[in-house]
Amino acid sequence: MAKKIATQSSVALDTLAIGIDIGGTGTKFGIVDRNGNVLFSSEISTRGHEEVESFIEELYNSLYPMIERAGGPGRMRGIGVGAPNGNYYTGTVEYAPNLPWKGIIPLAKLIQNKFQLATVLTNDANAAAIGEMMYGAAKGMKDFIMITLGTGVGSGIVANGQLILGHDGFAGELGHTITIPNGRFHPGTGKYGSLESYASATGVTKTAIEMLEKSTEPSLLRDIPKEQLDSKKVYEAAIAGDELAKEIFDYTGKILGMALANFVMFSSPESIILFGGLTKAGDLILKPTREAMEQNLIQIFQNKVKILISHLKESDAAILGASALVWEIKD
Amino acid sequence: MAKKIATQSSVALDTLAIGIDIGGTGTKFGIVDRNGNVLFSSEISTRGHEEVESFIEELYNSLYPMIERAGGPGRMRGIGVGAPNGNYYTGTVEYAPNLPWKGIIPLAKLIQNKFQLATVLTNDANAAAIGEMMYGAAKGMKDFIMITLGTGVGSGIVANGQLILGHDGFAGELGHTITIPNGRFHPGTGKYGSLESYASATGVTKTAIEMLEKSTEPSLLRDIPKEQLDSKKVYEAAIAGDELAKEIFDYTGKILGMALANFVMFSSPESIILFGGLTKAGDLILKPTREAMEQNLIQIFQNKVKILISHLKESDAAILGASALVWEIKD
């Protein structure tokens, strides 16, 4: 009888999860229920903290009152953290070029000690993939690839219903796969021709500059000073009917599609889920991407793989993804 | 008490597994114990059977007497089959360009019905990967990639200790990933620039012909009629000190290494295990492969991934790999 009452009370006071998404500029965090409702959320600056200790301090001062409002730490299942170069196995962030803290940072441990709550950490794109699987476009899928097309290109790969982490926790760096041998230089990695150097917001800007220099084709983009060009302006020009701007997305989509074909021939996913700024260009980029993917796939893979756009609210997705890790914490 | 006796007798009469490896030319089969000893083995022609029914008939006539010699069907746990384009989920072989039987062949079902033994099937490279994990260079590894460098390039990927099969059972076609965009034409697939069109025995031969045509460099290979050139002759010339022959392996290794870097950035394996004819060229191909792989990896992956050569006896490996599937059959 006592057991039954306990069960009922735990149903009444549903357990919650905390999600923290650490980006180069800002850190978003929130408290999420099992159904993926973000009950509370807020944001602090990442960039403003040269020392990770002062970052943890501000995070605690902003997040702890939120935890209390949501029912106190006893109601929290734990904390999930998504961070660039985050390693699930070690809970560390290692040599993240876009974060202010250098070297290997034991971030999960620092957060766990401060909050006294079980903390798991993985890279931001892996967290996003788990979020999509629990609440988003990949619900019910056991094999899919999540690609984030933002300033950079991130990825999270799920096969047999599990995240592929690799022997060291660093699997899924698809943005760094070489797509054009001896191609465009990537200043962040020192490598040539990676997917990220083309199919990111940064890549689109570079393509725009290259195309404007190479051709004499008239374009709305010629009115914009080179240093002010960005993927959003290319998008606006394309929407306004600018042919050169359309060619920029076409070129980007062709390279992205070829890379996606390679990923499909690796893990044969049911779908590829795209997320992030570049997806706002819609069919301008998706059409050439789909075409190039199909064109490079061998027959057994053709016309099978869905390219889907994440339908999670962008402001919630990062928090949802990070919080989703928490439900996998074992007691 | 009865139960105890049963257990003892099953230990005394150890269960065995049957492995069948179907290739384009011949089909090897054998009976294997749990320790990976091939107790009996033999071979029949694949190519000689235009109809799959007559193939099954000859297989039965050759294999059944072997089963009886090994203790009868009651001692067999089941049959494992490795076949090109074999699908684990459906037990079918689909549109295999190198097999005489066209369309979709329900091979596992045909064999199971004929032998009245549980039968599982997968593609040959997946079977080889399982064989390496149970008996070979990948013993104890949970994350590795098996690449077979033969007439073509096959692959089997293990992550989190499981074969990656994909949503449809066709994952792991790494030989068909595009490595050189708009590169060499692959007559079997109609695609341009796939890894297989360079890093296979066929690819090495093509590279030899191209290099001999392009340069006027003296070479032992010039004494061989073009239609008799093959990767073995290139190897022999390289061993004899022929510079052009060495360049051919160097070129092949560079492309293979770049492709391997991409695979590493996908699933971050502990090792890549190479198997098949081209590996006999040893450091002639391995040195440029390793160098190109490291060169194309971003920092977090560098100097971590072992490239290993399978040490299973080539004649046994195919049978071992196929038989290894049997131990995964659930009762």
Both B247 and B265 in a single domain?
Answer: yes
Q: Give the nearest chain B residue to A180 (CA atoms).
A: B181
Residue A301 with chain B: CB contacts under 8 Å: 170, 173
- CB contact under 8 Å between B191 and A141, yes or no, is no
What is the CATH classification number for the domain harbouring A10? 3.30.420.40
For residue B149, the enclosing domain spans 141-311
Q: How far apart are CA A115 and CA A127, in angstroms?
A: 20
Q: What is the pLDDT of residues B229-280, one digit of tens each?
A: 999 999 999 999 999 999 999 999 999 999 999 999 999 999 999 998 899 9
**Which 3 state secondary structure label does DSSP give A250?**
helix
Q: How far apart are CA A159 and CA A99, in angstroms?
A: 29
CA angle A229, A235, A239 (to 5 degrees): 135
Both B21 and B146 in a single domain?
Answer: no
pLDDT band at A10 (very low <50, low <70, confident <90, very high): very low
- CB contact under 8 Å between A181 and B180, yes or no, is yes
Q: What is the pLDDT of residues B188-220, one digit of tens each?
A: 899 999 999 999 999 999 999 999 999 999 999
Q: Give the nearest chain A residue to B85 (CA atoms).
A: A300
Average pLDDT, integer, range A235-252: 97
Both A145 and A291 in a single domain?
Answer: yes
Both A98 and A199 in a single domain?
Answer: no
Q: What is the pLDDT of residues A71-110, one digit of tens each?
A: 999 999 999 999 988 999 999 998 887 799 989 999 999 9
Which residues of B lie closer than 8 Å to A, measured between beta carbons? Answer: 85, 94-95, 141-143, 157, 159-160, 162, 164-174, 176-181, 189, 191, 258, 261-263, 265-270, 296, 298-301, 304
Structural domain tally of chain B? Answer: 2
pLDDT band at B331 (very low <50, low <70, confident <90, very high): low
Angstrom distances, CA of residue B195 to CA of A13, B154, B166, B177 = 56, 10, 20, 6
Both A264 and A210 in a single domain?
Answer: yes
Percent of chain B at pLDDT exceeding 90? 83
Cβ(A129)–Cβ(A158) below 8 Å: yes
Which residue of B176, B194, B260, B272 is the best one to mutate when testing the A interface, meaning the one whose CB has the most A CBs within 10 A?
A: B176
Taking all residues of chain B, what is their mean pLDDT, rounded to a whole number? 92
Which phi and psi angles does B33 have, rounded to 5°? -95, 175
Taking all residues of chain A, what is their mean pLDDT, rounded to a whole number? 92
Which residue of B167, B195, B305 is the best one to mutate when testing the A interface, meaning the one whose CB has the most A CBs within 10 A?
A: B167
pLDDT of A331 over the 70 cut: no
Q: How far apart are CA B186 and CA B192, in angstroms?
A: 6
State pTM to two decimals. Answer: 0.91
Both B146 and B282 in a single domain?
Answer: yes
Q: Distance from B171 to chain A by nearest Cα, in Å?
A: 5
Which pLDDT value is given to residue B13?
66
Q: Distance from B228 to chain A by nearest Cα, in Å?
A: 30
Cβ(B199)–Cβ(B255) below 8 Å: yes
- CB contact under 8 Å between A181 and B258, yes or no, is yes
Q: What is the pLDDT of residues B75-105, one digit of tens each?
A: 999 999 999 889 999 999 988 877 999 899 9
Both B254 and B163 in a single domain?
Answer: yes
Q: Give the nearest chain B residue to A265 (CA atoms).
A: B173
Both B76 and B154 in a single domain?
Answer: no
Both B178 and B298 in a single domain?
Answer: yes
Both B98 and B188 in a single domain?
Answer: no
Both A62 and A23 in a single domain?
Answer: yes
Q: Distance from B9 to chain A by nearest Cα, in Å?
A: 37
A148 membership: H or E segment, kind and range: strand A144-149
Residue of B95, B266, B298 lying closest to A266 (CB–CB):
B266
Which pLDDT value is given to residue B314?
72
Residue A270 with chain B: CB contacts under 8 Å: 167
Complex-level ipTM beyond the 0.95 threshold? no
Q: What is the pLDDT of residues A138-169, one digit of tens each?
A: 999 999 999 999 888 999 999 999 999 999 99
B219 backbone φψ class: left, alpha, beta (φ>0; ψ -120 to 50): beta
Residue A142 with chain B: CB contacts under 8 Å: 167
Both B109 and B41 in a single domain?
Answer: yes
